[in-house]
Chain A
Amino acid sequence: MSAGHGPLAPLPDRVVRDPALLAFADEVGGVDAGPVAIEGGRTQWHLGGHCEPGTRLVRAPAGVVAFEPAEMTIQVRAGTTLDELDAALEPAGQRVALQGLPGTATVGGVLSVGLSGPTRLGHGHLRETLLQARYVSAEGLLVTAGGATVKNVTGFDLCRVLVGSFGTLGLLGEVILRTRPRPQAAAWLSGPADPTALFDRLYRPVSLLWDGATVWLYLEGYPEDVEAQTAIALEAGLVPVDGPPPLPSGRHSAEPAALRSYRPDAPRSGRFVAEFGVGVVHGEWSGPTQAPPDASVVALNGRLKNLFDPTGRLNPGRDPLTPSNGKADHR
């Protein structure tokens, strides 16, 4: 734009016109509409602090808006379940890297909670799937964060802070997600083995779980490669199995290197399954006490919340600073 021109206006397609989203924004309402909380599939309802009792509950609209297989992106409303998402993508041989999470969970729910499933080692953090988010702000306005393309650094990256925000900054209404080709071959193997040695020998395994004695390994890829990596695992004493072990309901966060020094004989007050290479430990015990976040981080979280939701009307009782460790109380 040369300096003499007037200000530019957004292109017509940047203004949200989906009636389902507009209705959702109306339902959420503005500041005058008072506190409001959002529910999805309630599969992780107990995380992120407790929703204040009596808060008016809303649900995001559901359904696939657009899927162009050659684009390798899908646009869905946030209330769509992971099962519905997968069913839409499966015929095209694609999927979104939200594997290992409950099929009845909603897309908006898992993004708002922000905790990846047990294939994070190979598939990356679930936040990497989110390209664009449309949410209803505390003022009741529809806001678009990010963009539709697979690569985008236009402006400040609001999508990042929405993932894991527990709906405290805005209520997700619709998202565009990156898809990936489904693998041609996959295999789970398990057996007593040293996870460190196995991890160092394999090339980018998708999941490596360990309960202190036994490892579970998940491989994906081209058949010849899965076969070759399987051979390494067989040599290490693993055998083919149907799938991963059930994951204990508690969860805490460790540095990946800390798992290397976990010893099977260390005193434990319950079963655990650790995600090797990632640092997530699913445990039946409350886990080590996690150091409270630094005061500067707490202050930044507070400032962001105040700027996005000054009256605290969005999901009162929720707080992303609530540690994800500890036993789930399924309240």
Chain B
Amino acid sequence: MDATLVAELSAALSPDRVHTDQLEQVLYGRDASLMRGDTGVVCFPLTTAEVQACIRTALRHDRAVVPRGSGTGLAGGAVPLEQPVLIVTTKMTDIEVDVDNRVAWVQPGVINLDLTRHLRPLGFHFAPDPSSQQSCSLGGNIANNSGGPHCLAYGVTSAHVVAVEVVLPDGELTMLGGLGADPAGLDLRGAFVGSEGCMGIATRIAVRLTPNPPAVATLLADFVEPAHAAAAVSAIIAAGVVPAAIEMMDQRITQAVEAFVGAGYPIDAGAIVLIEVDGLPGGVAAETAKVREVCMAQGARSVRVAADEAERMLLWKGRKTAFGAVARVKPNYYLHDTVVPRTKLLDVLQQVYAIADRHDLIVMNVFHAGDGNLHPLLVFDAREPGILDRVHAAGEEIVRASLEAGGVLSGEHGIGLEKQPFMALQFTQPDLDAQARLRDAFDPDGRCNPAKVLPQGSRCGDLAHLDAHHRERLLADGVWV
């Protein structure tokens, strides 16, 4: 480790917030993906000025910077490469509510659910609710343009971010967007949200406050056949109802979750669909009736409406802890996040099962069915020889099936390192080149989270930073670049 670099960072922050020890090296070398990187200096700034100091120090020492929130990302976006200065924002947790402007200014380390809890007494919440909302940070949500079950009706993170204070990769401070109705210039705020840490580091974010709905109903529809469940999802949308959320879980995941949290799910169901409608009482009653009617017509065995808030919370707890429950089946999982046209859901889902069968793998499906956002979990034990090859081969086939149906590579998890190679399936060279130019406008030298998102050869020469030696080391770790 470069002692001068560490000394300068320690002077700029404080020695207890600049870490280089072995435990941190291991801990911060990973996110929630399968990839492992090469951790450098781990910094924990408290303020915008400290983030600036970290970036400027890194610049002087010709080190890249990698921003990191809670590390719950599933695509390797926060995995450090080539010992960068890792800027961990978890200690930046201030919240400042501006009710008159219907926004809250938050620092990037604020946990998603903490913000919603903070807003609850005021009658508001933050609409994006990723399944990891108990642990994921707002900064990470901004970086990934995160979704969650309720994005079906409310939209993903980008629709809920009004302004972002950003330290740019050259250390300059800027404000993208603003509280005013029509900020002048290009929508740089929109470009920044979802840029996976490649365009700078958000240090303060103005997020929109969403009023809590006066009425909510959560329905659990129980199907014998997964095909009928998928057909019901399409039929609900086709009936002109856009619920707040439509989530589907197949039998394997339902059983794992039920054993894990006891959410009251029917374990003999072929698939269950969790539907939430919210808003004013008239619409909630009308949509509850319509959803029930559509589900029964598509072959549901039963449709249960949660009787009270406790039952409602329990139904959601099951859904949101699904990934954790997978550990009961196998120690590892590999997950794709493709989105398919809603009318192709059934077709692609059947292909996913067939692909897993062909590769002799267990697949579990728990996903945001309402917007066609699949989350097929290939569960496995990494100690089994040769299994990673099968997992990756099946993964590629799932991606191809989704894209061939007219879909896209990622609905909410982002591209990071893990999904990079597939970018060339979805986009042409001019498409990728245009994205590279957008990134170059913010980070001409590729200093901020280099070698992520765009595949090699997109134009910006990202991977030039990642020399052959480091690529080999990533591969040697059994990691799949």
Using a CB–CB cutoff of 8 Å, the interface residues on chain A facing chain B are: 1-3, 7-11, 13-15, 68-73, 93-94, 114-115, 124-125, 127-128, 137, 139, 141-145, 147-161, 163-165, 169-170, 180-181, 203-204, 221-225, 227-229, 251, 253-257, 260, 275, 277-280, 290, 293-294, 296-298, 300-301, 303-304, 307-308, 320-324
A155 neighbours in B (Cβ, 8 Å): 415, 423, 426-427, 432, 435, 453-454
Contact A72 B237 (CB under 8 A): yes
In the complex, chain A residues whose CB is within 8 Å of the CB of B455? 7
Assembly CA distance A277 to B475 (angstroms): 52
Contact (A304, B441) CB under 8 Å given A154-B426, A224-B281, A255-B101: yes
Q: How far is the CB of A8 from chain B (nearest CB, A)?
A: 4
Which residues from A are CB-within-8-Å of B211? 203-204
Inter-chain contact B408/A221, CB cutoff 8 Å: no
The answer for the CA separation of A147 and B411 in the assembled complex, in Å, is 10
* Set A154, A163, A224, A297: member contacting B282, Cβ < 8 A: A224
Q: Give me 18 other A-B pairs in contact (C-beta within 8 A), A127-B187, A279-B179 excluded.
A: A70-B238, A70-B342, A71-B341, A72-B342, A145-B431, A152-B339, A153-B147, A154-B410, A154-B423, A156-B191, A160-B187, A161-B438, A221-B279, A228-B281, A255-B180, A296-B168, A304-B188, A307-B437
Q: A147-B408, A222-B283 are in contact. Are A9 and B184 (CB under 8 A)?
A: no
Query: Complex formed: what's the CA distance from A82 to B341 in Å?
Result: 24
Which residues of chain B are near A251, meaning CB under 8 Å?
182
Minimum C-beta distance from B301 to chain A (A): 24
Looking at the complex, which one of A163, A254, A321 makes contact with B184 (CB distance below 8 Å)?
A321
Binds A, one of B6-14, B154-162, B263-271, B325-333: B154-162
Query: Total number of A-B contacts with CB less than 8 angstroms?
Result: 295
Minimal Cβ-Cβ distance residue in A for B189: A160
Q: Is residue B404 within 8 Å, beta carbon to beta carbon, of the partner chain?
A: yes
Q: Which residues of B contact A143 (CB under 8 A)?
A: 428, 430-431, 434
A115 to B182 alpha-carbon distance, docked (Å): 8
Contacts of B93 in A (CB 8 A): none
Residues of A contacting B461 in the complex (Cβ-Cβ under 8 angstroms):
none
Q: Which residues of A contact B475 (CB under 8 A)?
A: 3
Is B410's CB under 8 angstroms from A10's CB?
no
Residue contact A279 to B237, C-beta cutoff 8 Å = no
Q: Which of B237, B285, B371, B441 is within 8 Å of A307, CB to CB?
A: B441
Q: Which residue of A lies closest to B433 (CB)?
A: A143
In the assembled complex, 6 residue pairs joining A and B whose CB atoms fall closer than 8 Å, in A order, are A7-B457, A128-B159, A137-B434, A153-B415, A155-B454, A297-B176
Contact of B280 among A163, A225, A255, A278 (CB under 8 A): A225
Provide the B387-403 mask, 1 if CB < 8 A to any CB of A, else 0.
00100110010001001
Across the interface, which residues of A come within 8 angstroms of B181, CB to CB? 253-256, 275, 278-280
Q: Are B427 and A157 in contact (CB under 8 A)?
A: no
Interface residues of B in 233-290 (CB under 8 A from A): 234, 237-238, 240-242, 279-283, 285-286
Knowing A161-B188, A203-B214, A221-B283, say if A149 contacts B426 (CB, 8 Å).
no
**Residues of chain A contacted by B415 (CB below 8 angstroms):** 153-155
Contact of B188 among A9, A300, A308, A322 (CB under 8 A): A300
In contact, B179 and A255 (Cβ under 8 angstroms): yes
B282: nearest chain-A partner, CB-CB: A224
Min CB–CB distance B81 → chain A (angstroms) = 16
Whether a CB of chain A sits under 8 angstroms from the CB of B353 is: no
Q: Which of A149, A180, A297 contacts B185 (CB 8 A)?
A: A297
A253 CA / B156 CA spacing, docked (Å) = 25
Interface residues of B in 181-210 (CB under 8 A from A): 181-191, 193-195, 198
Report the separation of the CA atoms of residues A161 and B188 in the bound assembly, to the nearest whole angstrom: 7
* CB proximity of B373 to chain A, nearest CB, Å: 5
Assess the A10–B425 pair: CB atoms within 8 A: yes
Determine whether B84 belongs to the interface, using a CB cutoff of 8 Å to chain A: no
A151 touches B392 (CB 8 A): no
Residue of B nearest to A142 (CB): B430
Contact status A70-B237, CB under 8 Å: yes
| A296 in contact with B242 given A204-B211, A254-B180, A255-B179 (CB within 8 Å) | no
Chain B residue nearest to A94 in the complex (CB): B240
Contact in complex: B339, A253 (CB < 8 Å): no
B411 CB contacts on chain A under 8 angstroms = 149, 151-153
Whether a CB of chain A sits under 8 angstroms from the CB of B108 is: no
In this complex, the member of B98, B180, B413 whose beta carbon has the largest number of chain A beta carbons within 10 angstroms is B180
Distance in angstroms from B410 CB to nearest chain A CB is 5
Beyond A70-B343, A254-B181, whether A14 also contacts B410 by CB under 8 A is no
Given A8-B421, A161-B438, A254-B180, verify A321-B341 contact (CB < 8 Å): no
In the assembled complex, the Cα of A8 lies from the Cα of B144 at a distance in Å of 24
